[in-house]
Amino acid sequence: MKGTLTVKTASLLIWAVLLFAPFLFQDVRSLEVAARIAVFIALVASYDLLIGYTGIVSFAHTMFFGFGAYGAAISLKHIGAGWGALGLGALAGVVVSLVVAVLIGMLSLRVKAIFFAMITLAAASVVLVLAQQLSGLTGGEDGITYKTPAIFKTATKLMVDDDGKVIRLLGVKLNGKLAAYYFVFVTAALMFWMMLRITGSPLGTVLKAIRENEARAEGIGYKVVAYRTAVFCIAAVTASLAGSVYAVWLKYTGPDTALSFAIMIDILLMVVIGGMGTMWGAVIGASALVLAQYYLRDLMEAAAGAVAAVPVLPELLTPERWLLWLGIIFILLVYFFPSGIAGTIINKGDAK
């Protein structure tokens, strides 16, 4: 149990850092990083429910994330910057996600896993193209900028002192930005907690049985297709909600932030790096990759500058090539550490 304990401790530590992030790192960029980590933990956890716990490979997770983000964005833009509009938009995203998830699930979860992967990939691409083309609704390539509920405005003062100035706590202004961050933090933590509960519930046990031996689970009497479709729906709804939350944080939604295939690759990388089949791995994977995204590029830039005199190397080390290195790391991970960071630690620690 030592390994499991290590992983859980590490994950909880990350959550603790996220909880106090505004106070620990008092700059705008760090807060961006923290919020992105929180949202992606929820997103990756919901994806892990599919790939790790059920053995379903879907490439449509960003599509659901996008439904939620665009739902919130369109509603906030056209109805107004209120909680009602936000709720309505998020709900619309959830409904669309559910309908599409049920459709895809019924259509293709019956057949081979590979069919499912291909169909979800095709569906996600079509949605991406549609979002780019239906510019009247989605803003096309440019995306949509909008206002969020007033409490999240940076200018909003949550608490004021006698002079009417915003109060600072440990040097941090208690303003709308802080409120927005904690909105993201709390909703992401809630979603993560839900995922944890699901995997610990009887449903989680059934899913594992299906993953281990489908024919056997079917033989015992579980309706495998129904369970798979249900899980696919749960994951889709969670991704959609995460999308709405992220849309609130960014105050902007466009193909690059909500639908692009790059996000799908990010999610895949996070799941694999963290460890498939362990919810706690999602926390580690999401944190590691988001940190890498923000800071590895800086590092590569420095490295490229340092080797500027050498041929070829600078070309390979430019920050634009960082996906190349991530891809190679990804392949090596899948070969040598298919259970990811969390899985490897758990296996090693528990074996002792």
Partner 1 sequence: MTGLSELISRAGGVFLLPVAMALVAFILIGAPSSWLTLTVAGLSMGMMIFLMASGLSLVFGLMDVLNFGHSAFISFGAFVAASVLAALGGWLGADSVLLNLLALICALAAALAFGLAGGWFFERVIVKPVYSDHLRQILITMGALIVAEQIILASWGGSPLNVPRPAFLEGSLLIGDASVDLYRLFAFALGALVYVGLHLLLNRTRIGLLIRAGVENREMVEALGFKVDRLFIGVFMVGSALAALGGAMWAGYETLITPSLGAELMVVVFIVVIIGGLGSIQGTLLGAIMVGLADNYVGFLAPKLALASTMILMMLILLWRPSGLAPAVK
Contacting positions for partner 1 (CB under 8 A): 51, 55, 57, 103, 107-108, 110-111, 113-115, 117-119, 121-123, 125-126, 129-130, 133-134, 261, 265, 268, 272, 276, 315-316, 320-321, 323-324, 326-328, 330-331, 334-335, 338
**176 or 255: CB nearest partner 1:** 255
Smallest gap from Cβ 323 to partner 1, in A, equals: 5
Indicate the length of the chain as a whole number.
352
Question: Measured from the CB atom, is 108 or 175 closer to partner 1?
Answer: 108
Query: Which of residues 117 and 189 has its CB atom nearest to partner 1 in the complex?
Result: 117
DSSP state letters, 47-99: HHHHHTTT----S-HHHHHHHHHHHHHHHHHHT-SSHHHHHHHHHHHHHHHHH
- Report the SS3 class of residue 169: strand
Q: How far is the CB of 328 from partner 1 (least distance, A)?
A: 6
Quote the tokens at residue 13: 């530590």
Q: Which is nearer to partner 1, 129 or 308 (CB)?
A: 129
Helix (H, G, I), strand (E, B) or coil at 168: strand
Rounded least distance, CB 146 to partner 1, Å? 24
- Give bridge partners of residue 252 from the DSSP assignment: 145
Cα separation, 130 vs 127, whole angstroms: 5
Task: Supply the minimum distance, in Å, between the C-beta of residue 155 and partner 1.
Answer: 39
C-beta of 305 vs 338, nearer to partner 1: 338
- Cβ distance 35 to 184 under 8 Å? yes
The counts of H helices and E strands in the chain are: 18, 4
In angstroms, what is the minimal distance from the CB of 325 to partner 1?
Answer: 9
